[in-house]
Amino acid sequence: MHSLNVLAMNSGSSSLKFGLYRVDSTGAQKLLGETIATAENPDAITQVASVLAASGMPPPDAIGHRIVHGGPALRQHSRIDDAVLRQLQAAAAFAPLHAPAALAHIRFAQAHFPGVPQVACFDTAFHAELPEVARVLPIARELQSEGIQRYGFHGLSLESIVQQLGNGMPVRLVIAHLGNGASITAVKGGKSIDTSMGLTPTGGVIMGTRSGDLDPGLLVYLMREKRLDAAQIEALVDHQSGLKGISGLDSDMRQLHEAAPSNPDARLAIEMFCQSVRKQIAAMIAVLDGLDLLVFTGGIGENDAVVRASICAGLSWIGVNLDEARNCLASNPINNATSRCSVQVLVSKEDEQIARHAWALVA
């Protein structure tokens, strides 16, 4: 198949990443890329057109979009047509933190690149074959038929880790994707068999501004006693919780590290985050019946040696032991010679995965 120039649009909860790739059957070559913090720049999307225009690069032959949640109807990467757009609109309630921006980016691309084929790449696709024991939620059966189930997220990141491991892929793998959003996934023989996020990207471990798992009775209490409505509950668990809620300062782990020596709330936020992740890793080890490889990825997972060390310090019982110098340098493997399993730091390459999928569906 021939090569294509693919524009990959990756809209996260706090940033917009985009990259232009030259893709063919041998792989994807990055031609340009940029990350824009959307919180500080609500007009970030217009910068994409400006960067592309100024670059002198050829226009894209295809455009791929990261879509966090496609709902029950969209579980495989798909070319975008009117029917897919309607399904994306219908699924927006599952990921209110991400869906509006992704839909806006699709409309932007349609307006600026008319006639260029577009592809939706779903973060839930990697988890589409979760076994029933992980997929089914312990709720009334009639609700399950409405698509209320565990979906799992960060699938494009997880795909990119599996792609990088290639023939070195072990049987029992745990991937800790740690960033503003965070999830832990058990991968057996290259397939997701359990993951920490559930129906939405709010569940699982503590995150930047998201609560992760909570006692459902807490939400009932807040509705009954504090008279919070659905919008207020959503704002609380998605925007005012997690590291930001615990510390009262910031959702950015770098800022919390700076404040920690003199601020006990910042220290507590970091400790709670590490313990939350450690507990989920241990749960996934139980699901896998052991561990061959632990991979850290995502902004925190790739760049924060202190957090990696803290998480792994509580996993010595399973034989996870880090080499301090290698961990500080993120020089793989970061485990020492006594460790019973390998520990690595791998860069999440979501944009490259988007470009690969777009090429496969268009070329």
Neighbouring-strand partners of residue 342: 293
Identify whether 123 is a catalytic site residue.
Answer: yes
Angle between helices 305-313 and 264-288 in degrees, nearest 10: 60
Which member of 24, 81, 82, 123 is catalytic?
123
**Sign of the alpha-carbon torsion through 34, 88, 78, 363:** negative
Neighbouring-strand partners of residue 23: 4, 28
Query: What CA–CA distance (Å, rounded) separates 273 from 246?
Result: 10
3-state secondary structure 168-187: HCCCEEEEEEECCCEEEEEE
**Structure tokens, 266:** 């910042």
One DSSP character per residue, 22-65 reads EEETTEEEEEEEEEEETTT-TTHHHHHHHHHHHHTPPPPSEEEE
Query: What CA–CA distance (Å, rounded) separates 293 from 172?
Result: 7
One DSSP character per residue, 101-133 reads HHHHHHHHHHHHSTT--EEEEETTGGGTT--HH
Please identify every residue annotated as catalytic: 123
